[in-house]
Amino acid sequence: MLTLNNKIDIRSLDLPALQESFKAMGEKGFRASQVYEWLWKKACISFEDMSNLSKELRKKLDENFVINNVKIHHSQFSSDKTIKNSFILHDKHLIEGVLIPTPGRMTACVSSQVGCSLTCKFCATGYMERKRNLNPDEIYDQVVLIDKQAKENYGIPLSNIVYMGMGEPLLNYKNVMESIDKITSEEGLNMAAKRITVSTAGIAKMIKKLGDDEVKFNLALSLHAANDEKRNTIMPINEQNSLKALAEALKYYYAKTKNLVTYEYIIFDGVNDSLQDAVELARFCKHIPCKVNIIEYNPISFASYINAGEDKVEAFAEYLRSHDINTNLRRSRGKDIDAACGQLAIKEQVS
């Protein structure tokens, strides 16, 4: 990818392409491998810091390439120790990512798009316009920056990554998959794939593609209703990806990967909180091995939804458990700084 000054974004090149570029500059191929290691294993963002390269080569790199690294624009600290970041991209777009510390875990919630093209009614990002997809390096950088933040603030490295920030990951499939490769490979950050969860609003054909690619990371589906009429209202994407289509895709995915799927379910008062809703969800859960995370709703100014009462939530969860469905109640983190699930939306401007 060329930038405005006609320099190539070096991280847009895979290793063979980088080796070709080095040969064209009259450099030996192994030097490309050294630079590749600096970029992806050591997360280096300055050619000057690549200390095992000659000054002449570093100067040549600076003349021909650029590293379009992501920077932290602003950070907010929650009373529960959650940290929300707005990140600024090379083209001045802003995205958000969150560090979520919990007992035994240090989780990064990362974005995959600038804005979102889906219009889920309960999600602040869904009320934004999708500007563009994030590149693999822009997703990778969020992980690196949040990991650094975890170490600096809590003395603990990241243990988990969730693609649950801004955007629909499966509508940026290629770049998301490449970012996960850079995060998990030995040539990259070498994190375990099982520590990564990709959350989708439900794109049936792309769930099947995950199966074809036999992915090792975890898949979570934002379900929120196991009834097409209700889900159409809450999540308009369901009109093109019905529950029947999703069930078929999930069966295919499980047959290929043998990965248990997590269903995320927010219980809205008077919307999807009845015993009948629980019955329908239990029935949907029988398609493949799964677990259910019941998530606390985090109000946004655009929507009129409110949380169901504690009694209803407990009764709902108990019904699922009585039908042998692994069910967890998840409490929100970072709600006081709009960092909780469904609250990510850019409110600030770049000067």
Identify the pLDDT of residue 340: 45
Contact status, residue 166 vs residue 126, Cβ threshold 8 Å:
no
Q: How many CA atoms lie within 13 A of 180 on its CB side?
A: 26
Identify the pLDDT of residue 336: 55
What is the model's pTM?
A: 0.91
Identify the pLDDT of residue 3: 52
Catalytic residue among 109, 120, 290, 341: 341
Identify the pLDDT of residue 136: 98
Three-state DSSP class for 318?
helix
DSSP 201: S
Average pLDDT over all residues of the chain:
92
Contact status, residue 133 vs residue 170, Cβ threshold 8 Å:
no
Residues 208, 161: Cα–Cα separation, whole Å? 22
Beta strands in 245-347 (DSSP E): 261-266, 290-295, 326-330
Catalytic residue among 96, 168, 264, 296: 96
Looking at residues 19-31, what average pLDDT do you find?
A: 92
**69 falls in which pLDDT band (50, 70, 90)?**
very high
**339 falls in which pLDDT band (50, 70, 90)?**
very low
Identify the pLDDT of residue 256: 98
- For the ranges 93-102, 146-155, 336-345, which has the lowest average pLDDT? 336-345
Beta strands in the chain (DSSP E): 8-9, 65-66, 71-77, 83-88, 94-102, 105-109, 113-114, 132-133, 160-163, 196-200, 218-222, 261-266, 290-295, 326-330
Looking at the DSSP bridge assignments, the partners of residue 98 are 84, 109
Looking at residues 13-41, what average pLDDT do you find?
A: 95
Tell me: the pLDDT tens digits for 1-18? 555 568 999 999 999 999
109 is known as an active-site residue? no
Domains of the chain: 8-66 (1.10.150.530), 71-337 (3.20.20.70)
Report residue 303 as tokens. Answer: 């929507």
Torsion of CA 209, 211, 212, 216, to 10 degrees: 110
Neighbouring CB atoms inside 10 A of 86's CB total 18
- For the ranges 52-61, 115-124, 186-195, 331-340, which has the lowest average pLDDT? 331-340
Tell me: the pLDDT tens digits for 110-133? 999 999 888 788 887 777 888 999
% of the chain beyond a pLDDT of 70: 93
Residues 208, 199: Cα–Cα separation, whole Å? 14
DSSP 2: B
User: 39: closest CA among 60, 53, 23?
Assistant: 53
Tell me: the pLDDT tens digits for 200-248? 999 999 999 999 999 999 999 999 999 999 999 999 999 999 999 999 9
User: 90: closest CA among 176, 183, 178, 7?
Assistant: 7
341 is known as an active-site residue? yes
User: 235: closest CA among 192, 264, 270, 198?
Assistant: 264
